[in-house]
Chains A and B, each alone.
Chain A
Amino acid sequence: MAITPPTARLWWKEPVHRTELVWIIVAFLWGLVMFFMMIWWHATGEQNLATETYRTTPNAFYAKTEAMVQQYRVRDVNGIPVVRPPVGSDVYMIGRMWLWYPALELVKGQTYRLHLSALDLQHGFSLQPVNINVQVHPGYQHVLTITPDQAGEFSIVCNEYCGLGHHTMLGKIYVTDASGVTP
Chain B
Amino acid sequence: MSEATFRTCPTTGLKVDLNAQKLIKANAVAAVVFLAIGGLFGLTVALTRWPAVHLLPADWFYLALTAHGLDVLLLWIIFFEIAVLYFASSTLLNCRIAAPRWGWVAFWMMLAGGLITNVAVLQGQSTVMFTSYPPMMAAQHFYLGLILFAVGALVAVGIFFGTLVIAREERTYEGSIPLVTFGALTAAIIAVFTLASGAVILIPTWLWSMGLISTIDPLMYKLVWWAMGHSSQQINVSAHVAVWYAIAAMLFGARPLSEKVSRGAFLLYILFLQLASAHHLLVEPGLSSEWKVFNTSYAMYLAVLGSMIHGLTVPGSIEAAQRRRGFDKGFFEWLRKAPWGNPAFSGMFMSLVMFGFLGGISGVVMGTEQINIIMHNTLYVPGHFHGTVVAGTTLAFMAITYLLIPLIFQREIRFPRLAKWQPYLFGLGVAGISLFMMGAGTLGVSRRHWDITFADAPLDFSYPEAAFLMLALNGLSAIAAALGGLFYVVVVVASVFFGRKVEGRVALEAPAGKSAVASYGSSESLKIPGTLLLVGVFFVAFVLYYFVNWKYLSDIWPMR
Chain B, interface size category, equals 35 or more
User: In the complex, what distance in Å separates the CA atom of A46 from the CA atom of B174?
Assistant: 58
- A65 close to B (CB within 8 Å): no
Number of residue pairs A-B, CB distance < 8 angstroms? 307
- A144 close to B (CB within 8 Å): yes
User: In the complex, what distance in Å separates the CA atom of A139 from the CA atom of B454?
Assistant: 28
Chain A, interface size category, equals 35 or more
User: In the complex, what distance in Å separates the CA atom of A171 from the CA atom of B460?
Assistant: 9
- A3 close to B (CB within 8 Å): yes
1-50 of chain A: CB within 8 A of chain B:
1-9, 11-12, 14-17, 19-20, 23-24, 26-28, 30-32, 34-35, 37-39, 41-42, 45-50
Do residues A1 and B255 form an inter-chain contact, with CB atoms below 8 A? yes
- A167 close to B (CB within 8 Å): yes
Do residues B301 and A35 form an inter-chain contact, with CB atoms below 8 A? yes
Do residues B246 and A2 form an inter-chain contact, with CB atoms below 8 A? yes
User: In the complex, what distance in Å separates the CA atom of A131 from the CA atom of B553?
Assistant: 9
Do residues A161 and B92 form an inter-chain contact, with CB atoms below 8 A? no
With both chains docked as a complex, state the minimum distance between the C-beta of A142 and any C-beta of chain B, in angstroms. 4
Do residues B370 and A170 form an inter-chain contact, with CB atoms below 8 A? no
Do residues B522 and A140 form an inter-chain contact, with CB atoms below 8 A? no
| Closest A residue, CB atoms, query B452 | A167
Q: Which residues of B contact A51 (CB under 8 A)?
A: 285-289
- A166 close to B (CB within 8 Å): yes
Given known A-B contacts A126-B378, A145-B559, A168-B456, A23 and B312 have beta carbons under 8 A apart: yes
| Closest B residue, CB atoms, query A134 | B283
124-162 of chain A: CB within 8 A of chain B:
124, 126-142, 144-150, 155, 157-162
Using a CB–CB distance below 8 Å, which chain A residues touch chain B? Answer: 1-9, 11-12, 14-17, 19-20, 23-24, 26-28, 30-32, 34-35, 37-39, 41-42, 45-51, 53, 77-80, 99, 103, 116, 120-122, 124, 126-142, 144-150, 155, 157-172
Using a CB–CB distance below 8 Å, which chain B residues touch chain A? Answer: 58-59, 62, 92, 127, 129, 133, 135-136, 173-180, 217-219, 245-246, 248-250, 253-262, 282-289, 293, 297, 300-302, 304-305, 308-309, 312-313, 316-317, 364, 368-370, 372-378, 443-444, 446-452, 454, 456-459, 461, 463-464, 512, 516-519, 521-523, 526, 528, 532, 535, 539, 542-543, 546, 550, 553-554, 556-560
Closest 6 CB pairs of A and B: A31-B301, A142-B285, A159-B446, A155-B461, A11-B259, A2-B245
